[in-house]
Structure 1
Amino acid sequence: MLLKINGQNVMIPEHIRTVEQLLEHLNIAHKLLVVERNKSILSKNSYLETVLFDGDQIEIVTFVGGG
């Protein structure tokens, strides 16, 4: 499946069907982040049930602490 993630075209294995699975595949599932799918911000509670489709545009913003 082809997704646009943070402006880059990325081929994702077909067995990845949800936002939660995508975040696990990218090794960022446990980070503090915000996910937007097709210009709509998703609540963290919806990651498990939000199904991905070929051509979806995903924006992932991670938060980094520091000073």
Structure 2
Amino acid sequence: MTITVAGEKKEYKDDLKLTELIEIEEVETPQYVTVSINDEFISFDDRETTVLKEGDSVEFLYFMGGGC
């Protein structure tokens, strides 16, 4: 199936779980990343049960603090 990850279309196996995608994409510090699928945020607790579908768009968002 084809899904878009961070703006890039890629091919993956059918019935891919979000946790598997996080491993495949080698996401740094997955415990601190926020994931959105089709512009909807996925709760940390739902990652194990979320199955990606053809045409989904996935973004990994990192929030950083900073400033003075």
Q: Same fold (TM over 0.5)?
A: yes
Q: Distance in 1 between matches of 2:7 and 2:18?
A: 17
Q: Which runs of 5+ in 2 are unaligned?
A: none
Normalised by the length of structure 1, the TM-score is 0.79
Deviation at 1:62, TM superposition (A): 2.8
Task: Considering fraction of residues, name the structure with more helix.
Answer: 2
- Bigger Rg, which one: 2
Give CA-to-partner distance per residue, 1:11-67, whole Å, 9 cap, x none.
Answer: 12x166111110011122743201001111000110100010111011111346788
Normalised by the length of structure 2, the TM-score is 0.78
Question: Percent identical across equivalent pairs?
Answer: 26
Report what 1:22 is aligned to.
21
Runs of 4+ with >6 A deviation: none
Report what 1:47 is aligned to.
47
SS of residue paired to 1:60: strand
Q: Distance in 1 between matches of 2:15 and 2:21?
A: 6
Structure 1 residues 7 and 46: alpha-carbon distance in aligned structure 2, compared to 1, 3 A threshold: same
Aligned length: 66
